[in-house]
């Protein structure tokens, strides 16, 4: 799937959390953050690739980035 911005990636990860019944408080424990700080991550418009990768790993996913010719 193609994502054009970090917001779309966060929406995808949030949908996966819903599917797998993972709550923000559970993710917060894995990220060593408070639930409110973790929840605020999902409201950001932009975030670093490092943070996206950290969230992905905590959810059991591997983030891969590819570049394709147009």
| pLDDT tens-place string over residues 10-58 | 999 999 999 999 999 999 999 999 999 999 999 998 899 999 999 999 9
Q: What is the 3-state secondary structure (H, E, C) of the chain?
A: CCCCCHHHHHHHHHHHHHHCCCCHHHHHHHHCCCHHHHHHHCCCCCCCHHHHHHHHHHCCCCCCCCCCCC
pLDDT at 2: 85
pLDDT at 23: 97
pLDDT at 19: 96
pLDDT at 10: 94
This prediction has a pTM of 0.87
């Amino acid at each position: 799937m193609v994502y054009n911005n970090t917001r779309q990636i966060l929406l995808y990860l949030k949908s996966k959390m819903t599917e797998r019944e993972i709550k923000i408080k559970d993710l917060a424990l894995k990220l060593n953050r408070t639930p409110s700080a973790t929840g605020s991550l999902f409201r950001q418009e932009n975030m670093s690739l490092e943070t996206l990768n950290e969230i992905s790993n905590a959810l059991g996913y591997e983030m891969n980035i590819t570049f394709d010719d147009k």
